[in-house]
A and B are shown apart, each in its own frame.
Chain A
Amino acid sequence: MMLEIHEAAKHFGGVRAVDGLSFSMNEGEVVGLLGPNGSGKTTLMNLVSGALKPTSGDILFDGVAIGGKRPDVIARAGVARTFQLVRVLPSLSILENVMVPAAFGREALWGRAAEARAEESLARVGLKVSPGKLAGDLTYIDQKRLELARALAARPRLLLLDEWLAGLNPTELQEGIALIRQLEAEGLTILLVEHIMDAVRALCPRCVVMASGSKIADGPTAEVLDQPEVVAAYLGGIDA
């Protein structure tokens, strides 16, 4: 198992954002994480990436406990992510943005090697803007591309995508789906939060569905989406 989540919980005061949730992922698997708004998907991503410490429960990556570890330690172990609200480094150039995980990740590349890795990642996501430009000046879609390139620059083994496809127009969405498919074909393990059902059906053979911090379904996508609990959870809940 590449990722094992055992009874993970995260409480914010009285709010049980993640409430004793368990599931596992194999290497090379692409799993969709679904659920209505506020069901705890982002919080779960935060627990895996180290942005938040679990209140209780265990998270294992490659058999090693990472729950509660610092995000930089988890990043160097081979986990990379994008953020639901896109976060580029606005005062750094595009190239510098992408160099960062290459420089501070597992491989600790520097100089020409880090630049080469950044260029390669930018090419992979199809960002065709002068790499010397400041990241803060990019359009929204290009910022999203940049964030993905940055996540890929560390050559992660597990990629966490939090609504990376949200806010794209239909053409961009098709490009985005093709891009993630490409990563899937290369054997990358991906956990992705997504509201766009066409994208989920196209990309995720398997889905985990959350509601109020708990897992209510887990299995092959077509079956899961037909389950009455899932349909009920989504009625009135979903915004997409």
Chain B
Amino acid sequence: MTGSLIALAVLALVACGPYILDAYGIGLLIGAVSYTILASAWAMFSGPTRYISLATVAFYGTGAYTVAVLSEALPWPLVLVSAAVIGGVLALLVGLSTLRLAGIYFVIFSFGLAELIRQLITWFEVSVSGTLGRYIFLELEPRHVLWQLLALAAVVVLITGWIHRSRIGLALKVIGDDETVAAHAGINLARTKLILFVLSSVLITLVGAIQSPRWVYVEPGIVFNPQVSFLTVIMALLGGATKRWGPVLGAVPLFLLFEWLSARFPDHFSILLGLLFIGVVFLLPDGVLAAIEKLRKKKEARA
């Protein structure tokens, strides 16, 4: 409870950023808040189920593309609602067909999903609508994007708080510990995972939709950049996907680090990212916090 209140207070504070920061600063805030939501939403599903999903950009890109297609036809709130509905339906279909897969097949499928959607959209744009790129002309300034992201972050805080106190939160903890026990205690595994996957995917879709006006010009290759998926996994895992504030602790410093790295080593950034991804997945799958806790326990046991 106090945790949620502190988080909401921090969000309110960040909302004042545009009054003191320049365009570059606001851009940094937008990136940091975007990745904080992405990592938190990712961890909502992948933390307890331990499915490493690389589908983040599939939903993120779907959100952005929905805006590109609908922004002139519909008022902005309806565009966002449409993005959420499309992301949700997509997640439902994907979830129904993949959540029975074993972990490693799920990773591969989730990675392929973004590529599949990218190719589908490319094919559609080229052969049906006859244009590959699209422009997003919206009267939304960076600060408006930031405020909307902060509002979404507040929704995430409230939803996570609610999950922790509700039946589905207990079900998730049990699934995280032992799926066999969970099923034998009466928990419907498939339904619980599906609900979480859809919820997480809708939030990710909304991040893509809300921050899309930043791009102005979009095409599938820009929007469906696999780096987004990898960054999200690294941030959530390094911070600790099973801890409530883990993804936030991972997202903010890592986003800043990645900004610096990609400016400093533009040619080698992808390699660095790949190495980091492998390192995190193998060495610290439970996050830095959990690793520190383990070390501390070991020390205590020895003392």
Which residue in chain B gives the minimum CB-CB distance to A136? B177
Task: From known contacts A49-B184, A99-B170, A104-B171, infer whether A92 and B177 are also in contact, taking CB-CB under 8 Å.
Answer: yes
Q: Chain A residues with Cβ under 8 A from B170's Cβ?
A: 96, 99-100, 103
| Bound Cα distance A213, B182 (Å) | 28
| Bound Cα distance A83, B171 (Å) | 20
| Bound Cα distance A150, B174 (Å) | 13
Interface residues of A in 76-93 (CB under 8 A from B): 76, 80-81, 83, 87, 89-92
Among the listed B173, B186, B187, which residue makes an inter-chain contact with A92, where contact means beta carbons less than 8 Å apart? Answer: B173
Within the complex, the shortest CB–CB distance from B242 to chain A, in Å, comes to 8
| Bound Cα distance A106, B185 (Å) | 10
Q: Chain A residues with Cβ under 8 A from B176's Cβ?
A: 91
Interface status of A17 (Cβ within 8 A of chain B): no
Q: Chain B residues with Cβ under 8 A from A91's Cβ?
A: 173, 176-177
Interface status of B72 (Cβ within 8 A of chain A): no
Interface status of A23 (Cβ within 8 A of chain B): no
Interface status of B167 (Cβ within 8 A of chain A): yes
Q: Is the CB of B180 within 8 A of A150?
A: no
Interface centre among A71, A75, A150, A154 (most CB of B within 10 A): A71
Q: Categorize the interface residue count of chain B.
A: 10 to 19
Number of interface residues of A (CB under 8 A): 27
Within the complex, the shortest CB–CB distance from A104 to chain B, in Å, comes to 4
Among the listed A87, A106, A110, which residue makes an inter-chain contact with B181, where contact means beta carbons less than 8 Å apart? Answer: A87
Among the listed B171, B178, B180, B189, which residue makes an inter-chain contact with A51, where contact means beta carbons less than 8 Å apart? Answer: B180
| Bound Cα distance A91, B186 (Å) | 19
Interface status of A70 (Cβ within 8 A of chain B): yes
Task: From known contacts A92-B173, A103-B170, infer whether A72 and B183 are also in contact, taking CB-CB under 8 Å.
Answer: yes
Q: Is the CB of B173 within 8 A of A75?
A: no
Among the listed A70, A83, A90, A150, which residue makes an inter-chain contact with B185, where contact means beta carbons less than 8 Å apart? Answer: A150
| Bound Cα distance A52, B26 (Å) | 55
Interface status of B131 (Cβ within 8 A of chain A): no
Interface status of B188 (Cβ within 8 A of chain A): yes
Q: Is the CB of A101 within 8 A of B183?
A: no
Interface residues of B in 115-171 (CB under 8 A from A): 167, 170-171
Q: Is the CB of A92 within 8 A of B184?
A: no
Q: Chain A residues with Cβ under 8 A from B178's Cβ?
A: 87, 89
| Bound Cα distance A71, B177 (Å) | 17
Which residue in chain B gives the minimum CB-CB distance to A150? B185
Interface centre among A49, A101, A154 (most CB of B within 10 A): A101
Within the complex, the shortest CB–CB distance from A17 to chain B, in Å, comes to 18
Within the complex, the shortest CB–CB distance from B48 to chain A, in Å, comes to 10
Within the complex, the shortest CB–CB distance from B167 to chain A, in Å, comes to 6
| Bound Cα distance A96, B170 (Å) | 8
Can you show 12 pairs from A to B with CB atoms below 8 A apart? A72-B187, A75-B186, A87-B181, A89-B173, A92-B173, A96-B173, A99-B170, A100-B185, A103-B167, A104-B187, A105-B186, A106-B186
Q: Using a CB–CB distance below 8 Å, which chain A residues touch chain B?
A: 49-51, 70-72, 75-76, 80-81, 83, 87, 89-92, 96, 99-101, 103-106, 110, 150, 154
With A89-B178, A103-B167 already in contact, 4 other A-B pairs whose C-beta atoms are closer than 8 Å:
A75-B183, A75-B184, A105-B186, A154-B186
Q: Using a CB–CB distance below 8 Å, which chain B residues touch chain A?
A: 167, 170-171, 173-174, 176-178, 180-189
- 5 closest A-B pairs by beta carbon, nearest first, are A104-B186, A71-B183, A89-B177, A75-B186, A101-B185
